[in-house]
Amino acid sequence: MVAEGFLYSREHEWVKAEEGRATIGISHFAQGALGDIIYVAPPVLGRCLLQGEEITEVESTKAVSPVYAPVGGKIIVVNEGLKDNPELINKDPYGQGWIVVVEMTNPEEVNALMTAEAYALFLKDG
């Protein structure tokens, strides 16, 4: 399932960009490939990220996987709910399973991301 209204990176992160801010999480495809998520390393509030830089790591019963910043910016909100309930990423990757909100340093970076339609084709061809 590829949710509409989001932008996607080749590393399977999603972005919901609004008013210079980007909410970031991992796609339904990514959470499915990882399996049951058991831990999310807490991202550092206030940290400035460059596009492509690692935000955090997600640990599942299968692997530990980095989560990359699809856009650069300062982390202004961290999903504290993942601390006690990392499985929210499996249950609701586009809702309660979001990971961080960043204040984008360059909102134009979203133009390099894929639409839902393009991401669905990327998954199909991959």
- Closest to 91 (Cα-Cα) out of 42, 43, 37, 15: 37
Write out pLDDT tens, residues 21-34.
999 999 999 999 99
**Distance (Å, rounded) from C-alpha 77 to C-alpha 67?**
16
**In the chain, where the domains are located:** 7-107
Name the architecture of domain 7-107: Beta Barrel (2.40)
Q: 56 pairs with which residues across the strands? A: 67
Q: What's the token pair of residue 49?
A: 């990220």
Does pTM top 0.85 for this prediction? Answer: yes
CA separation for the pair 64, 86 (Å, rounded): 13
Residue range 61-98, pLDDT digits in tens: 999 999 999 999 999 999 999 999 999 999 999 999 99
Model confidence over 47-62: pLDDT tens digits?
999 999 999 999 999 9
